[in-house]
Amino acid sequence: MLRAVSAHGYTSPTPIQSAAIPAALQGRDVLGTAQTGSGKTIAFALPLLQRLEPGHDNAIPAQAGKPQPRALVLVPTRELAAQIGDSLRQLAEQQSPGVKVSVFFGGVSINPQMMGLRSGTDIVVATPGRLLDLIDHNALNLASVKLLVLDEADRLFDLGFSEELGRLLALLPPKRQHLFFSATFPPAVQALASSLLQDPVRVEVRPEPATALDISQRAIEVDPARRTQLLRHLIQDNAWSRVLVFVATKFATEIVADKLRKAGIDAEPFHGQLSQGKRSQVLADFKASRLAVVVATDVAARGLDISQLPVVVNYDLPRSAVDYTHRIGRTGRAGESGLAVSFVSTDTQAHFALIEKRQHITVLREQVAGFEPQEVALPLVKGVTVSQENGGIKGKRPSKKDKLRAAAAQAAGSPSRNT
């Protein structure tokens, strides 16, 4: 294991690895709070693999004949499953006897996955839906699982996997170890952790303020209708080689990518409705610098790990400060510097100020010549800016009563968008 760690460039443990690995090796439950980029994959991958090694004090013994999985890692997205699977395989390269890692997710044919299970497996990394499909096809059972990892548990609930999780947990043996990681702990996640974990070791790695990361941040004021033109200008004027652009909806990924392509910039959308083959191809082209721009939604981009990514752009602001951290954390990784650019309009100024407050940062507003905003702020109704174009920002959408009050105020002579 030490040779594998050294071969892959790991020199010293991160805080979450230092705290989680010893407890996990002892067979204890671990409850970890950690953000993207904290090293939590290695925090559970190393003790998981070590416990499958014969002769370890708390080893999980292998089965005779066709092995069934001894460890299960549940994740919310295809890309995260693929990345964790790759990390486990790389770290397991020098183990003897060899450890078989199987990765399963939807969006691709189930038949090759079933064929791959004929010789058995030791570790399964999967999204809940596809794992249940394999179980329903009698291709796999979970009776031998002794170690369960839930990674990004909050996103599992955000994406509606609560029912699938319940079904899977009922199929697991009652005596097992849990390694439970989540960036946030909403009530559903807290309830699940309380029901599963026995006297867990709690590991909390608080997210560093964005100012502590090696990421330069810019906030550019621009009218919503001119964001794509400004994006094109910035890419061309600064000769950005690779840019990850975040938008609010699947529809927006297609529209923005199409407009960039028409301007001569190699760009592709990246969202949950694309086939797995297309998503894999987009990522491969982006990582190899054959593609300049990927326009993505938060859900699709969750778990992406792209080395030496120079720029991230918030075309639409994220719904929460936590998502802001996840987004800009795609750049400035592994000691590299990065740049995060956020487009801020009249209607989203207040939301960006809230992000700054919760991140304990201040980002100077700036304007780019030729793209100065022309729109005027709408009237406030009970402290809320009334807008039909808030980009789906959480907590900003006006109620029907707010809209009626705003209309009445405008009819009485209050300033409007056109004044």
Peptide bond into 97 cis (omega under 30): yes
Alpha helices (runs of H) in 26-109, residue ranges in sequence order: 40-51, 78-91
| Bigger pLDDT: 61 vs 202 | 202
Q: Given this model, what pLDDT does residue 414 score?
A: 43
Same domain? 369 vs 380: no
Mean pLDDT, residues 155-172 taken together: 87
Last residue of a domain, one of 167, 183, 204: 204
Same domain? 153 vs 232: no
Same domain? 236 vs 360: yes
Same domain? 368 vs 386: no
Last residue of a domain, one of 175, 204, 233: 204
Same domain? 355 vs 265: yes
Same domain? 50 vs 170: yes
Task: Place 419 in a pLDDT band, splitting at 50, 70 and 90.
Answer: very low
User: pTM of the prediction?
Assistant: 0.66
Last residue of a domain, one of 183, 204, 225: 204
Task: Place 406 in a pLDDT band, splitting at 50, 70 and 90.
Answer: low
Same domain? 370 vs 401: no
Query: Which structural domain, as residue segments, surrounds residue 397?
Result: 376-419
Same domain? 149 vs 23: yes
Number of domains in the chain: 3
Same domain? 339 vs 356: yes
Same domain? 164 vs 153: yes
Q: Given this model, what pLDDT does residue 104 score?
A: 95
Cα–Cα distance, 124 to 395 (Å, whole number): 39
Is the confidence at residue 400, as pLDDT, over 50?
yes
Same domain? 199 vs 227: no
The CATH number linked to 259 is 3.40.50.300
Amino acid letter at 256?
A: V
pLDDT digits (tens, 9 = 90+) for 214-241: 789 999 999 999 999 999 999 999 999 9
| Bigger pLDDT: 419 vs 93 | 93
Same domain? 257 vs 175: no
Torsion of CA 102, 107, 111, 117, to 10 degrees: 10
CA distances from 127 to 84, 168, 205, 223 (A): 12, 11, 25, 39
Cα–Cα distance, 168 to 135 (Å, whole number): 9
Mean residue pLDDT of the chain comes to 83
